[in-house]
């Protein structure tokens, strides 16, 4: 079972008030229905979802809708469950789908989503028919709703952004895609839908991925530091070779010659580590800054010798 299906199964168990049921049914109907000559069809691949919609019609309007199975033409192996509603303009007006003249409304009346709980219910209805969320364990963070009508897409985006979800719209060949890509916002969206188990799973995976990414960043940083240390030490050893090649050690003071010998003895030590080693073995404290000053003398001498040789 996909992550999206699990979410839909979970929110299909939520108990609604009457106004919430109307709002959820409106959100589903407005983004799922096909309507022609007074006949309205609702479809879903998910049996639990279609049972929930069927239950709304029975509880709200005492309608026991007939259900049938039809072939899915959208390249899916699953058949579609279909509900049909005949000549029920009054009900469709009540649900914010038709106006009094039997025309499809571009957006629902304000009473459908008059309160936050009704907005949440409307968004549940929309998600049940056109929503999907990537499993955070297997893919990038991504939530999308595929909407047919531009006015409805803008309306749903506004509802989502009431909750500060930063939802955006893309124009697609066959409609409009509302999407959210920020992990925290997707988690908030799941909370709005009421999918608490899905939130716990999402957050567990998100925290694991963040910790893993932080560990990788630290490892990469440590590796980069190690590479710099090795590169610096290699350069210093090359400078020491130049001084020894031209037999010019006597041009260095005793402390610098001591540093030269310790660098040769500990070629992979960082500047800080080398300073600690020299301080420990000689009993004379030297700071990282003081050690760097001596190594700079070695560098300057090597450069002068190379220049003179040329």
Q: What is the pLDDT of residues 38-57, one digit of tens each?
A: 888 899 988 999 999 999 99
Domain boundaries, the chain: 3-194, 228-309
DSSP 94-118: HTTSB-TTSPBPSS--GGGG-SHHH
Q: What is the structure's pLDDT at 225?
A: 78
153 has a pLDDT exceeding 90: yes
Q: How do 80-86 and 39-44 pair as beta strands?
A: antiparallel
**Rounded Cα distance, 237 and 267, in Å:** 8
pLDDT in the model for residue 193: 95
Percent of the chain with pLDDT over 70: 98
- Residues 52-62: pLDDT tens digits? 999 999 999 99
Length of the chain: 310
* 186-226: pLDDT as tens digits: 999 999 999 999 999 988 888 887 777 777 777 777 777 77
Q: What are phi and psi of 124, to 5 degrees?
A: -65, -45
Top pLDDT among 92 and 138 is at 92
Question: CA torsion, points 12, 192, 42, 10, in degrees to nearest 10?
Answer: -20
Take residue 306 and report the two structure tokens written for it: 């190379």
- 117-130 burial, b for 16+ CB within 10 Å, e for fewer? ebbbbbbbbbbbbb
Token couple for 272: 């800080």
Q: What is the CATH number of domain 3-194?
A: 3.10.28.10
pLDDT at 75: 59
Kindly report, residue by residue over 83-129, the tens digit of the pLDDT: 988 878 889 999 999 888 888 888 899 999 989 999 999 999 999 99
Lay out the sheet containing 131-133: strands in order across: 131-133, 143-147, 175-180, 168-172
Q: What pLDDT digit, counting tens, does each position of 239-294 carry?
A: 888 888 888 888 889 888 888 888 888 888 888 888 988 888 888 888 989 889 99
């Amino acid at each position: 079972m996909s992550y999206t299906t699990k979410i839909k199964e979970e929110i299909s168990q939520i108990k609604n008030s009457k106004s919430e049921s109307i709002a959820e049914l409106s959100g589903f109907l407005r983004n799922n229905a096909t309507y022609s000559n007074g006949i309205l069809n609702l479809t879903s691949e998910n049996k639990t979802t279609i049972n929930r919609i069927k239950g709304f019609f029975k509880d709200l309007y005492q309608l026991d809708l007939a259900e049938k199975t039809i072939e899915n033409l959208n390249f899916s192996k699953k058949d579609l469950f279909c509900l049909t509603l005949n000549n029920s303009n009054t009900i469709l007006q009540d649900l914010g789908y038709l106006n009094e003249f039997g025309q499809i409304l571009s957006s629902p009346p304000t009473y459908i989503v008059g309160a936050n709980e009704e907005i949440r219910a409307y968004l549940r209805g929309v998600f049940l028919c056109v929503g999907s969320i990537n499993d955070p364990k297997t893919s990038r963070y991504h939530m999308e709703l595929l909407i047919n009508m531009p006015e409805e897409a803008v309306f749903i985006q506004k509802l989502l952004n009431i909750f500060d979800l930063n939802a955006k719209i893309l124009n697609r060949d066959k409609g409009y895609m509302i999407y959210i890509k920020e992990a925290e916002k997707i988690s908030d969206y799941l909370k709005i839908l009421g999918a608490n188990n899905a939130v716990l799973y999402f957050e567990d995976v998100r925290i694991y991925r963040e910790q893993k990414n932080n560990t990788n960043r630290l490892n990469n940083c440590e590796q980069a530091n190690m590479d710099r240390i090795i590169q610096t030490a290699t350069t210093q050893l090359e400078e020491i070779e130049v001084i020894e090649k031209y037999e010019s050690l006597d041009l260095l003071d005793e402390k610098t010659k001591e540093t030269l010998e310790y660098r040769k003895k500990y070629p992979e030590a960082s500047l800080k580590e080398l300073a600690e080693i020299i301080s420990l073995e000689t009993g004379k404290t030297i700071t990282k800054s003081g050690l760097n000053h001596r190594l700079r003398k070695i560098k300057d001498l090597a450069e002068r010798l190379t220049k003179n040789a040329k």
